[in-house]
Structure formats: structure tokens, C-alpha cells
């Protein structure tokens, strides 16, 4: 007897009974759920899980009014165990978790509870009621967690653009050389400068004007100019997923609620203080490490995932795996990535100013030093470079 035969036999024998106080039979309920999953675009495994999620009810042989008698048949556990002999975790885990998902939904979405049938509300109480915040944190960390609440609302920008820095940085020097005649001296550290010469290990290079952009290394070449600037370093931990190719396309760059707190552009939102208070109460670690989650996907289908923020003296050379876990846990609350295996991890440091978008100084005659562009430096750089150079040369941009 194949597994399909066994499933059909179980539904044939027990599926005609009423579905635990509802106006549909067990079989009708199973087919409705599978149909809704298919209509919502779920993959085959999830459609199968939807079809079979209550199979435990058909197996345990308890009467259909057990909830009224105050008994929880733990049908999700029995059903998952029965299926585990024939199906993989993509089918078994959603079956095992579907009661937990209902308890989670009732906690995050009070309106959902109100929309449930009286029978389902009764069984919810026997199943433990809506989840507590502690239970929710554990549930969200489940490897199979997909936000059952789904995406509720979003902002979408038609002008959003992402570039793969590895691609751009590889191509940009050749373009600059060809288009603007820029000469590069890669691998040449600058050791010092005065108004007319740049010193390198290979000797002095005469200059008429000099622009210094040493990023986070600003203290090395022009320490006095930036001594009282208020600039401070910021370390970010980042991750990249496996390359999904065309098997999984996110379709857009994504971010969620934590990002609203991260960028100053959202400061005008009137409800932001209330959101920040709630996040601080429910997810204090996220605030402490400046974690918000941005997801972007490149042509190979790799997801770049970030980011965390550690500032000033708190920065060490060692990465904190807990921060990566927090990013991955939060990702799960708004994006269902089929197998978010991390292929690469790295960290970077940029330098920023508490209030200014960048900091410029004049450390010597004919010399301009610019740094402190912070976390938006790549985005700002083209416009900023044009403006600062034009100002420096005394020309209109
Ligand atoms: C992990 C991470 C993610 C980021 N994501 C984004 C993002 O999504 N969008 C965005 O807009 N920005 C992002 N940023 C910020 C952005 O990368 C920085 O703001 C930007 O690179 C700063 O540009 P810069 O030219 O001032 O400094 P840098 O890019 O740091 O360049 C300075 C260069 O000077 C060189 N240098 C220093 N001293 C010397 C010396 N003595 N001699 C010779 N060379 C020297 C350094 O080696 C370095 O190559 C991110 C930063 C990090 C770390």
C-alpha cells in the first residue's frame, strides 16, 4: 500500500465526520485548506501540508466534541509523527506547527481571534491560548517559521536601486581611466603630504591640489584636522546567502519595521516614538546593537543581509554570532526564504558624524580632506564628490 493509498483510506474511513464542531466535514476542511494554499501561491510541500494538517484528528479516534469535553487531542503531534514516515520536513514541520501558528497569530493579530469560529476559539484555550511574548520569541526562532501574518503593508519605491559593489568596484577604475583619464596607483600607501607633494614609499609625487578621502583611516593622514570633529567608527556585521539563481527571487529589496527606527528620514512619522518604545520593550537586543534588516538580491540570486551596528570603543575585531542570529530571526518575520543558508559572513567599518552628513577639513594649503559619509556613503558619494570638488576648485557644480 503506498502512502497515497493510506491517506485516501484514512480520509475515506474518517473524513466524512463533521470537523470538530464546524459545518464542514474533515475532508472538506482539508480540501479547502489545500485549495487556499494553492491559490495563495504556496509551493507543493506546503499545499500537501495544508491538505494533511489535521490528519491527526482522523487518526486519534477521539470523538468530534473532545474540545467541549475539555480535552486537547494534540492532533498536530500525532499527525506529524504519522506523516514523518513518508514525508520530509517541508510537509511534516508545518503540520506539527500549525497549532502553534494559530496561537502565534492570535497573539500578534487580535482581529484574527475574533474572526475564528466558536469551536476554534474553544480549542485554542485548550491548546494554551494566544502565545506569550516569550513563547513568540521561541516560535519565531523555529527553523520552519514563516510569518503566518504575512506582509501587512509596505512602502514601495519605483526608483529603488541596488548595485553589487563587487561588480561596480571591479569595473569602475577602467571606466574612470577611459572616460576621464584617471590614473590609479593601487597598492601605494600615502605616507604624508604637504601643500605641493604627496609622499609614498616610491618617492614624492608633485601635486597642485590634493583631496584626501581615507574613509575610516582619517586619523592616519590628517589627525589634527579631524581631532575635534566628533567622528566615530561604526562596525557592521553582514551575511550573504547561498546563490539561489532563478529558484528564489525576492523581486524587490526589502526592509521591515526596525528600519523605520534606523534612518533619520523616518523621524517625521508621528507614531515612530510609540513604535520605538514597543521595540525597546519587546526586542531590547535589537536596539542595543542597532540592528535592522535589509535584504537585497543580486543577479546570482544571493541575498545580502545586514546589518548590525557597534560604535566607537565597543568595536572589537571579533564578530558576535548572536548578532547574526538576531538578523536571521528578524528576517523570518517578514520574508520566507526557503533555505537561508549563510554562505559568507564579513564585517566592515565606516566612520560617521552624529549629525552631519559628512565632514570636510583643510589640513594644509591646497588640500581638502573629506570623510564621515557614514552608512549612506556609497549612495551619496557621486553627488557629494561633484559638489565638494566643484567647491574646492571654485567652480559651479
Ligand atoms: C558593511 C557596510 C555596508 C554598507 N552599506 C552601504 C549601503 O548599502 N549604501 C551606502 O550608501 N553606503 C553603505 N556603506 C557605507 C559606505 O561604504 C561608506 O560610506 C563609503 O565607502 C565611504 O567612502 P569613503 O571614500 O569616504 O571611504 P572608503 O570607501 O573607506 O575609502 C577610503 C579608501 O582610502 C584608502 N586609504 C586610507 N588611508 C590610506 C593611505 N594612507 N594611503 C592610501 N590609501 C588609503 C582605504 O584603503 C580605502 O580604500 C556601507 C559600509 C559598510 C562597512
Give the number of the atom of ligand 1 that is nearest the alpha carbon of residue 191.
41
- Specify the pLDDT at position 347: 97
Predicted pLDDT at 152: 61
Of the pLDDT bands very low, low, confident and very high (cuts 50, 70, 90), residue 71 is low
CB neighbour class for 270 (10 Å; exposed up to 12, middle 13-18, buried from 19):
exposed
Residue 72 has pLDDT above 90, yes or no: no
Q: Report how far residue 67's alpha carbon sits from residue 71's, in angstroms, rounded to the nearest whole number.
A: 5
Q: Distance, CA 256 to ligand 1 centroid (Å)?
A: 26
Indicate the pLDDT class of residue 60, thresholds 50, 70 and 90: low
Question: 243 or 143: whose pLDDT is higher?
Answer: 243
Instruction: Report the atom number in ligand 1 closest to the C-alpha of 371.
Output: 26
Complete DSSP assignment for 299-323 = TT-PEEEE---EEGGG--SS--HHH
For 18-40, the pLDDT digits (tens) are 666 677 888 999 999 999 988 87
Centre of ligand 1 from the C-alpha of residue 213, in Å? 9
Average pLDDT of span 271-283: 92
Cell of residue 339, nine digits: 533555505
Q: What is the mean pLDDT of the chain?
A: 87
Q: Is the pLDDT of residue 113 over 90?
A: no
Question: pLDDT at position 73, please?
Answer: 65
Pairing of strands 294-297, 232-241: unpaired
Q: Can you give the pTM of this predicted structure?
A: 0.69
DSSP 82-117: HHHTTS-HHHHHHHHHHHHHHHHHHHH-HHHHHHS-
**70 vs 279, which has greater pLDDT?**
279
pLDDT-based confidence at residue 1 (cuts at 50, 70, 90): confident
Nearest Cα residue to atom 49 of ligand 1: 214
Atom index in ligand 1 nearest the CA of residue 374 equals 19
Distance 52 CA to ligand 1 centre (A): 52
CA of 215 to the centre of ligand 1 (A): 5
Q: Binning pLDDT at 50, 70 and 90, where does residue 53 land?
A: very high
- pLDDT value for 155: 73
pLDDT at 70 over 90: no
Q: What is the CB < 6 Å shell around ligand 1?
A: 189-190, 213-217, 220-221, 236, 238, 348-350, 371, 373-379
Alpha helices in 109-198 (DSSP H): 110-115, 118-126, 133-140, 165-180
Distance 103 CA to ligand 1 centre (A): 46
Residue 252 burial (CB count, 10 A): 13
Reported confidence tier of residue 360, pLDDT bands at 50, 70, 90: very high
Specify whether the CB–CB gap between 201 and 321 falls below 8 A.
no
The CATH homologous superfamily to which domain 3-140 belongs is Hypothetical protein af1432 (1.10.3210.10)
For ligand 1, atom 20: residue with the closest CA: 377
pLDDT at res. 321: 96
Instruction: Give phi and psi for 278, each to the nearest 5.
Output: -65, -45
* Euclidean distance between CA atoms 333 and 55, whole angstroms: 27
pLDDT at 370 over 90: yes
Q: What percent of the chain stands above pLDDT 90?
A: 50
* Atom of ligand 1 minimally distant from the CA of 234: 53
Distance of CA 377 from the midpoint of ligand 1 (Å)? 7
Distance CA(289)–CA(285), nearest Å, equals 6
Annotated domain spans of the chain:
3-140, 185-230+356-393, 232-352
Average pLDDT (176-202) is 94
Distance 350 CA to ligand 1 centre (A): 6
Here the cell at position 111 is 482581529
Q: What is the pLDDT at residue 273?
A: 94
pLDDT on residue 35: 94
Q: CATH number for 232-352: choose from 1.10.287, 1.20.120, 2.40.50, 3.30.9.
A: 3.30.9
Residue with cell 464542531: 21
**Ligand 1 binding pocket mutation candidate from 172, 217, 298 (most atoms within 8 A of CB):** 217
- What's the residue count for the chain? 397
- Closest-CA residue, ligand 1 atom 31, reads 215
pLDDT number for residue 246:
85
Per-residue pLDDT at 304 exceeds 70:
yes
What the block records as the C-alpha cell of 378 is 556609497
- Which atom belonging to ligand 1 lies closest to the Cα atom of 346? 1
Q: Pick the residue with more confidence: 62 or 75?
A: 75
Q: Which atom of ligand 1 is nearest to the CA of 379?
A: 11
Which ligand 1 atom is at minimum distance from the Cα of 190? 42
Q: What is the pLDDT of residue 201?
A: 96
* CA of 351, closest atom in ligand 1: 19
Residue to mutate (ligand 1; options 319, 377, 379, 382; most atoms within 8 A of CB): 377
Looking at residues 319-339, what average pLDDT do you find? 89
Cα–ligand 1 centroid distance for 54 (angstroms) = 54
* Cβ(300)–Cβ(243) below 8 Å: yes
Q: How far apart are CA 146 and CA 369, in angstroms?
A: 48
Amino acid at each position: 500500500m503506498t502512502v497515497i493509498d493510506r491517506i485516501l483510506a484514512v480520509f475515506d474511513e474518517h473524513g466524512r465526520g463533521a470537523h470538530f464542531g464546524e459545518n464542514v466535514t474533515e475532508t472538506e476542511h482539508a480540501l479547502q485548506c489545500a485549495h487556499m494554499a494553492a491559490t495563495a501561491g504556496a509551493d507543493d510541500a506546503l499545499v500537501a501540508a495544508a491538505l494533511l494538517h489535521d490528519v491527526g484528528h482522523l487518526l486519534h479516534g477521539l470523538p468530534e466534541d473532545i474540545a467541549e469535553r475539555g480535552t486537547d487531542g494534540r492532533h498536530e503531534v500525532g499527525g506529524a509523527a504519522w506523516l514523518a514516515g513518508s514525508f520530509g520536513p517541508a510537509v511534516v514541520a508545518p503540520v506539527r506547527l500549525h497549532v502553534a501558528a494559530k496561537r502565534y497569530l492570535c497573539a500578534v493579530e487580535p482581529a484574527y481571534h475574533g474572526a475564528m469560529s466558536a469551536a476554534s476559539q474553544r480549542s485554542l484555550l485548550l491548546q494554551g491560548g494566544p502565545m506569550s511574548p516569550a513563547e513568540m520569541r521561541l516560535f519565531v526562532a523555529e527553523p520552519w517559521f514563516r510569518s503566518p501574518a504575512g506582509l501587512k503593508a509596505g512602502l514601495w519605491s519605483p526608483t529603488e536601486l541596488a548595485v553589487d559593489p563587487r561588480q561596480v568596484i571591479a569595473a569602475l577604475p577602467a571606466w574612470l581611466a577611459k572616460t576621464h583619464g584617471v590614473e590609479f596607483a593601487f597598492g601605494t600607501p600615502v605616507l604624508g603630504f604637504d601643500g605641493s607633494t604627496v609622499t609614498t614609499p616610491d618617492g614624492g609625487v608633485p601635486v597642485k591640489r590634493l583631496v584626501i578621502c581615507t574613509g575610516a583611516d582619517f586619523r592616519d593622514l590628517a589627525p589634527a584636522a579631524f581631532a575635534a570633529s566628533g567622528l566615530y567608527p561604526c562596525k557592521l556585521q553582514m551575511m550573504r546567502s547561498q546563490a539561489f539563481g532563478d529558484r528564489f527571487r525576492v523581486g524587490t529589496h526589502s526592509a521591515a519595521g526596525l528600519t523605520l527606527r534606523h534612518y533619520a528620514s523616518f523621524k517625521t512619522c508621528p507614531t515612530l516614538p510609540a513604535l520605538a518604545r514597543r521595540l525597546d520593550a519587546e526586542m531590547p537586543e535589537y536596539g542595543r546593537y542597532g540592528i535592522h534588516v535589509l535584504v537585497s538580491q543580486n543577479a546570482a540570486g544571493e541575498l545580502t543581509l545586514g546589518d548590525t551596528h557597534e560604535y566607537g570603543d565597543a568595536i572589537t575585531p571579533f564578530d558576535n554570532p548572536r548578532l547574526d542570529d538576531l538578523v536571521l530571526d528578524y528576517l523570518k518575520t517578514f520574508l520566507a526564504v526557503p533555505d537561508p543558508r549563510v554562505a559568507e559572513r564579513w564585517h566592515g567599518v565606516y566612520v560617521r558624524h552624529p549629525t552631519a552628513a559628512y565632514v570636510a577639513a583643510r589640513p594644509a594649503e591646497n588640500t581638502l580632506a573629506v570623510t564621515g559619509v557614514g552608512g549612506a556613503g556609497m549612495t551619496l558619494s557621486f553627488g557629494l564628490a561633484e559638489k565638494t570638488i566643484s567647491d574646492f576648485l571654485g567652480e559651479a557644480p
